[in-house]
Structure 1
């Protein structure tokens, strides 16, 4: 059985054809369109290009936002703050059953199926990329919460973390540790016009820019505090870091773990914190797992 998968991220849109065993036969990446119709056209075009070749039976869309119980999606980078009936629109155009899932849960499902969370029952999957969110596995069950928005940790207020910032519009942790937030902070505090977040880490590697080192240290402290909150509340056996910033854990690890050790209960410290090995495939594979579970049920 071949499946059509699209992962709509805040920065990148990924389209893939995957079989029911998890083998990826086709994958393509685009910049995420900011126009709703352009997004739909891109997904539909990729589906039509591959439909006959792969005999596609079902589809799944992972979104960097929220998927509500009525299956409408909240994807502010594309649709603004209005809920959008993405599933209905795509099913009309594609002619197959479509499932929608948020990227926190999709990434977690991918890790439990093919990644580092295989055979684990209590796991947190923390995505730090364009946004910040947490997938939660507790006693072997995915926790979605009332309204399907459990894990919205990016909204934790900076005052709760006891981190002061001189930038007035940084009011939550997503606006401090996400990729775009790190870039904005660098531009405002350090000056200059870096090409992107990647260039900030390249400057850090050169060990010559004190301002960059301060930005990374502040980010490390905030990540350590966030991990401590997650550990204290959920008591997972494993925390997996994903997303473009989460995957750069080695830059944050030393300072973040120092904070983590200080701010966690001694009863919950013995957990593993690891970087996802699946990378951007986590959401794609999680979508496949979600389709299989829904079809079989």
Structure 2
């Protein structure tokens, strides 16, 4: 669809019963978004404020939660606007931008999890060399690369799409992801699809192989070591593995449905697409807040102190 200013607009057709349930959808997703902001920002600020958490493991956790916050902010505001709008549309350029940010942050998630796996590997398998290997400069380089590498790899895909012709103006989804490849004319998107497969291999499968390798080494060292080493490995690695499994399962849906062109019922597609942007950023702070001992203790102290202050104010009043 073209307007007077020669701007191409895409219509999202993935919504289900929007006229009947738009207010319900808006309230639920608004509550979820506020919860995501509160949960991720709370632990991120804890890591920034408390010097006892200024260690590589906690810095990577804070980076991961910041990534979840950015990931949600890329999706939710537009989603909330669409729930209340009569037309669910987006310009093609903004759609490309949303998709670019979406996959940059997805790639960053896997690279950050890889950095966390490497940190745990050095901590458990090479404890005497940990301080010399995981220096401040090393952590900074890993953090910068975690965001720059996925973004840099996506730039060629943007250049490819700039020369491709759009033949379909209806996007079967609720935000811009892999499905955008179906908007282009038949035959014109082959290079785009091939490069997409390269991105999947480079940004998903290679980090996954590296993570599985490091955790297998950790498992072997832990099995041969004392009970204290096993306990440390379980306490520090289990949250990362839970996050990895959760995120990998959700990403597999994004890859399989879009790339393999599996035809799902509209309601099922809508529910599954919502899960991609709902569970992971919402449960990340819960997993780390409960499973990581230092963070859990600080959170308990924070909320206990808040309750005491509230009770004191009530009594004084």
Higher-Rg member (1/2): 2
Pair in the same fold by TM > 0.5: no
Structure whose residues are more often strand by fraction: 1
Greater RCO between the two (CA within 8 Å, min separation 6)? 2
More helix as a share of residues: 2
